[in-house]
């Protein structure tokens, strides 16, 4: 099977972990601090707070920006569960709006519509997701958010190193959150990061992830244990050095695959929009004519680990049913959920494997 993702752990990560294990400081220590500094510098943001995973990073961002009980938070239903579950964990209510056909990302017009309709001004924030590694239309999002006075959180769990008009993911909004899970563009096994341009919310975040402690055993916030460890930071620091190389390889693999797939009638390859650098966390095609499930089954039977991200949009998930707006018709999200397939392009793949993926796709589409 050619897997959809594969962590690339080299001798550098192994040596770094061994050093931590030998040091005696294995929980949160100096390497977590260094990982925060280096990740913030890489992303071009002043403040970074490391967290246990990408999900609690979003929860931490919401809390630190003052979003909680009684507030509404606009987001996309076409994302991983954690984007919206963290809104609920923060005590707020998700408001799902539709996506763009072109890039699968949240639609700025739909965000504006939701804010216009929100006469009681309950909505306090928008969480955008840079899905599959291509950033949202951030100029449009920020303009609308500033006009309505709502905060913007970038869920950049799939966008380490992605660029929009010269700015990296996590740099533009009020907060940017990242995941270092094993399948992401860089990993520390589990792990997360929250970025803030402003000092204030970063200070709150640092306290929130450590039981809300402002001084030893003095708890000013109802915080959590959302800390990460020096073991994970050691892996993350090595992965960060390799990130640009990984992303370059993903882009090369994607371009090669797009070339091989051109002319497959029922398939639309992903588009990179002008002014954006797509880092292809996923290479996601659209399959027309109701052939998605057929192609998926065929690819899996040919040993290609193709997958669907995501088959059920969140507004259709029973756990979100009680939130207003979850009964809304969101046609672009619903058709994307029926049409997408992600094909492997991770940096561990050889050209011959990309060729094999394209051949398997063509074997199916050629019969159509």
Residue 157 or residue 207: which is nearer to ligand PLP going by CB? 157
**Pairing relationship of beta strands 283-287 and 218-219 according to DSSP bridges:** unpaired
Residue 79 beta carbon to ligand PLP: minimum distance, rounded to whole angstroms: 5
Q: Which of residues 54 and 72 has its CB atom nearest to ligand PLP in the complex?
A: 54
Distance CA 78, CA 57 (A): 19
5 part of the interface to ligand PLP, by CB under 6 A: no
Write out the binding residues for ligand PLP, residues 174-233 only, by CB under 6 A.
179, 181, 192
Q: Does 280 help bind ligand PLP (rule: CB under 6 A)?
A: no
According to CB under 6 A, which one of 83, 85, 134, 333 is a site residue for ligand PLP? Answer: 83
CA distance 13 to 192: 17
Residues 313 and 319: their CA atoms lie apart, in Å, by: 12
Binding track over 239-278 against ligand PLP, x by CB under 6 A: ----------------------------------------
For the chain, the 3-state helix, strand and coil shares in percent, each to the nearest 5, are 40, 15, 40
Sheet holding 283-287, edge to edge: 267-268, 283-287, 340-343
Helix (H, G, I), strand (E, B) or coil at 12: helix
Tell which one of 31, 48, 50, 54 touches ligand PLP (CB under 6 A): 54
Which range in 80-88, 110-118, 323-331, 337-345 contacts ligand PLP by CB under 6 A?
80-88
Answer positive or negative: Cα dihedral of 70, 71, 74, 77. negative
Interaction between residue 128 and ligand PLP (CB under 6 A): no
| 161 near ligand PLP, rule: CB under 6 A | no
CA angle 346, 55, 327 (to 5 degrees): 100
Q: What is the dihedral of CA 255, 260, 265, 266, to 10 degrees?
A: -60
Task: Give the per-residue contact string, 222-241, with ligand PLP (x = CB under 6 A; - = no).
Answer: --------------------
Q: Closest residue (Cβ) to ligand PLP? A: 54
- Answer yes or no whether residue 155 interacts with ligand PLP by CB under 6 A: yes
């Amino acid at each position: 099977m050619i897997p959809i993702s594969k962590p690339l752990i080299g001798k550098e990560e192994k040596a770094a972990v061994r050093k931590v294990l030998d040091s005696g400081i294995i929980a949160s220590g100096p390497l977590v601090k260094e990982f925060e500094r280096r990740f913030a510098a890489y992303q071009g943001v002043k403040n970074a707070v490391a967290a246990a995973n990408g999900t609690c990073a979003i929860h931490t961002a919401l809390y630190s920006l003052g979003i909680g009980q009684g507030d509404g938070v606009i987001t996309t239903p076409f994302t991983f569960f954690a984007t919206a579950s963290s809104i609920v964990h923060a005590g707020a209510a998700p408001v799902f709006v539709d996506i763009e056909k072109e890039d699968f990302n949240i639609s700025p017009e739909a965000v504006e519509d939701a804010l216009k309709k929100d006469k009681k001004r309950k909505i306090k924030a928008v969480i955008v997701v840079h899905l599959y590694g291509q950033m949202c239309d951030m100029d449009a999002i920020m303009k609308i958010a500033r006009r309505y006075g709502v905060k913007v959180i970038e869920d950049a769990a799939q966008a380490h190193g992605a660029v929009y008009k010269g700015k990296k993911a996590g740099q533009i909004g009020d907060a940017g959150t990242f995941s270092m899970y094993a399948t992401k563009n860089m990993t520390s096994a589990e792990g997360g990061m929250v970025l803030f341009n402003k000092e204030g919310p970063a200070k709150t975040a640092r306290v929130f992830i450590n039981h809300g402690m402002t001084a030893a055993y003095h708890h000013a916030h109802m915080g959590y244990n959302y800390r990460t460890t020096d073991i994970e930071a050691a892996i993350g620091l090595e992965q960060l050095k390799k990130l640009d190389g990984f992303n370059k390889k993903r882009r090369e693999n994607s371009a090669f695959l797009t070339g091989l797939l051109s002319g497959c009638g029922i398939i639309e390859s992903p588009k990179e929009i002008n002014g954006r650098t797509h880092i292809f966390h996923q290479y996601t095609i659209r399959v027309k004519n109701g052939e998605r499930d057929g192609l998926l089954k065929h690819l899996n039977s040919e040993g290609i680990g193709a997958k669907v991200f995501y088959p059920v949009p969140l507004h259709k998930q029973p756990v979100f049913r009680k939130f207003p707006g979850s009964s809304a018709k969101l046609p672009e999200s619903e058709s994307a959920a029926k049409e997408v397939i992600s094909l492997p392009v991770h940096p561990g793949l050889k050209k011959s494997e990309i060729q094999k993926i394209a051949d398997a796709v063509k074997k199916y589409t050629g019969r159509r």
